[in-house]
A = this chain, B = another copy of it.
Amino acid sequence: MPISPRPRPKPPRAPAPRWERRKESRPAELIEAALELFVERGYAATRLEDIAAHAGVSKGTLYLYFASKEELFKALVRQSIVPLIETFGQGIAQSDAPSSELLRLCFFGWWSKIGATRLSGISKMIVAEARNFPDMARFFQKEVVTPGSRVLAAILERGIARGEFRPIDVEVAVNLWMAPIALKAIWSHSIAPCCAPELVIDPERFLNAHLEFVLRALAPEKALT
A contact patch SS = helix
Q: Is A44 an interface residue (CB 8 A)?
A: yes
Contact pick for A219, options B124, B134, B224, CB 8 Å: B224
The range of chain A's interface size is 35 or more
**Copies per complex?**
4
A65 CB to nearest B CB, Å: 16
- Chain B residues whose CB sits within 8 angstroms of the CB of A45 once the complex forms: 43-44, 132
* A contacts, CB < 8 Å to B: 1, 3-6, 40-45, 68, 70, 124, 126-135, 137-138, 140-141, 145, 168-169, 171-173, 175-176, 179-180, 182-184, 186-187, 189-191, 193-195, 199, 201, 205-206, 209-210, 212-214, 216-217, 219, 223-224
A111 CB to nearest B CB, Å: 13
